[in-house]
Structure 1
Amino acid sequence: MSACTAGAGYSSHHLLDNYDFASLGNGLVVDVGGAGGHNSFAIAQQYPKLNFVVQDLEAAFGEAGVKVPTELEGRVEFMAHDFFTPQPAKADLYYFRFIFHNWSDKYGVKIMRALLPALEPGARILVYDNCLPEVGTVPGWREKLLKTMDIYMLKILNARESFWLADSRFKFLGVTRPEGSNLALIEARWEG
């Protein structure tokens, strides 16, 4: 996967520069499927009031060789968790980077529904993944690349980022495509 997400278009600065993490105050962010935690580390370094739980399968932690940087100890922790099972952590933000494009709608909905036991009104869900842009809003070569990837993922996995199908109590807040990023920020809030 790292070979597919290398390069400037996948840099964490796109996320850091385009999402209002400061609005979470002293909140908790759960990085669902976060493997080695590199995105949580980057966010934690820029937003010292936030705490993080990086969740993934135990095997993913072993492959990633996880270790919390010394300056982030006590603010970032790792938790073995299968995102198809009920979410155990109550948080202000649940963050999914490059997760949903690999799953058909059926499984994407199952991942989102697994959050329901932990969600409290106002909790946000942030999906940072591929999302087709409006026609003509990005250079032609990039639009073609994104459409090709979208068709490929649909053909192979019947995948779409349609998380709001999971429950009508999710309020869709919008999509932001950071300049120069290959990914888009897709946000919803739990209305309970």
Structure 2
Amino acid sequence: MVAHSKISKFLMLPHIKSWLSMEVNETWRGNTRVADAIQKWPNSDEANETGYALAHGKSLFEVLTTNPERAMRMAQAIRTKEHIPGFATRDVSNAYDWASLGDAFIVNIGGQGVQVAIELAQNFGNLNLIIQDSAMMIAGAESSVPDTLKGRIEFQEHAFFEPQTVQADVYFFYQIFRNWGDKYAVKALKAQTPVLRPGAKILIYEECMSEQGAVPMWIERIQRCVDMNLKNFFNGRERYLDEWKALLAAADERLVLHRVHKRHDSWASVLEVHWVA
């Protein structure tokens, strides 16, 4: 008799198969060229000056926009994060005291906005959200919103490097800045300032990197692996606390880091930024 083990059966799940294929065909090839990219383009923030670009001849963004099959594989592979504490969409509800916001209007800027917005709206009846993303990302997304939430979740085509046009209580970035070098992260933060008013908040759901040995080994291992992959794919990275503070100061000195919210059982943090004018 031949039978699956728990591990081999797990690898048969469609999104796990996609993840394994992506790691072999996309990630690994790029990681072998990261050192070459650093030598060729030292201190680069550009997405087309990466190990991935050297290995594949194009940036990851260019590959995904021109190759639907590879884009679909990566989209399926990203679902594997639902198995990792802190990565799962459901964890966003416990990462911050959303109820304390009261009747709040939130701009959910880019990054898996639909599922994140649904998670928040389902669990916090006091929140209304607008999802801003590219036309490609929001096309047909409205149909995925449950009927019970329609009217509380809206969509708007908007690039987060362009000046913000919507005035809100909270501007929520979910795993955005890690995909960009400092130059572009600063640009995205600056773009929000035209509409900010006293009391407005920017919430950033990302990693606040830990010093070596400060967190359980399984969390640190994920941190270092993800950090390497972000460098490979985008010239992005995970950031330490002092790097986050420097990023905010470079964008606008009125953007003040108020608090870092972090659960002990999660890699993720919520950086709460206040507009102090």
What is the TM-score normalised by the length of structure 2?
Answer: 0.63
Judge which range, 59-68 or 90-99, deviates more.
59-68
- Counterpart CA distance in 1 for 2:229 and 2:127 is 37
- Counterpart CA distance in 2 for 1:50 and 1:141 is 34
Judge which range, 124-133 or 112-121, deviates more.
124-133
Matched, 1:170 2:255: yes
- Counterpart CA distance in 2 for 1:139 and 1:188 is 27
| 1:160 CA displacement | 5.0
Judge which range, 29-38 or 111-120, deviates more.
29-38
Q: Residue 30 of structure 2 aligns with which residue?
A: none
Matched, 1:128 2:205: yes
Per-residue Cα deviation, 1:148-170 (whole angstroms, up to 9, x for no partner): 33244346515455341311001
- Counterpart CA distance in 1 for 2:273 and 2:210 is 18
| 1:188 CA displacement | 0.6
| 1:16 CA displacement | 1.2
Q: Residue 235 of structure 2 aligns with which residue?
A: 157
| 1:103 CA displacement | 0.4
Per-residue Cα deviation, 1:109-162 (whole angstroms, up to 9, x for no partner): 000000011111111111111231243332223213312332443465154553
- Structure 1 segments of 4 or more deviating over 4 A? 63-66
| 1:82 CA displacement | 0.4
- SS of 2:224's equivalent in the other structure is helix
Cα contact 2:219–2:266 (8 A) shared by 1: no
Judge which range, 108-117 or 170-179, deviates more.
170-179
- Counterpart CA distance in 1 for 2:266 and 2:143 is 26
- Counterpart CA distance in 2 for 1:123 and 1:70 is 29
Judge which range, 108-117 or 16-25, deviates more.
16-25
- Counterpart CA distance in 2 for 1:131 and 1:34 is 18
Cα contact 1:175–1:184 (8 A) shared by 2: yes
- Counterpart CA distance in 2 for 1:143 and 1:50 is 33
Q: Give 1:128-147 correspondences, 5 Å limit.
A: 128-147=205-224
- SS of 1:42's equivalent in the other structure is helix
Matched residue type, 2:191: A
Name structure 2 gaps, 5 residues minimum. 1-73
- Counterpart CA distance in 2 for 1:120 and 1:104 is 27
Q: Residue 133 of structure 2 aligns with which residue?
A: 56
Matched, 1:180 2:265: yes
- Counterpart CA distance in 1 for 2:135 and 2:128 is 21
RCO (CA 8 Å, sep 6+): is it higher in 1 or 2?
1
Per-residue Cα deviation, 1:18-47 (whole angstroms, up to 9, x for no partner): 311112211101100044511111111111
Aligned length: 192
More strand by share: 1
- Counterpart CA distance in 2 for 1:169 and 1:6 is 35
Matched, 1:189 2:274: yes
Matched residue type, 1:38: Q
Matched residue type, 1:178: R
Name structure 1 gaps, 5 residues minimum. none
Greater Rg, structure 1 or structure 2? 2
Matched, 1:68 2:145: yes
Cα contact 1:52–1:75 (8 A) shared by 2: yes
- Counterpart CA distance in 2 for 1:40 and 1:65 is 11
Alignment counterpart, residue 7 of structure 1, candidates 71, 76, 83 = 83
| 1:68 CA displacement | 2.1
| 1:62 CA displacement | 2.5
Residues 158 and 72 from structure 1, CA distance in 2 versus in 1: closer, same or farther, beyond 3 angstroms?
A: closer
Aligned Cα root-mean-square deviation (Å): 2.1
Q: Residue 100 of structure 1 aligns with which residue?
A: 177
What is the TM-score normalised by the length of structure 1?
Answer: 0.89
Alignment counterpart, residue 24 of structure 1, candidates 95, 98, 101 = 101
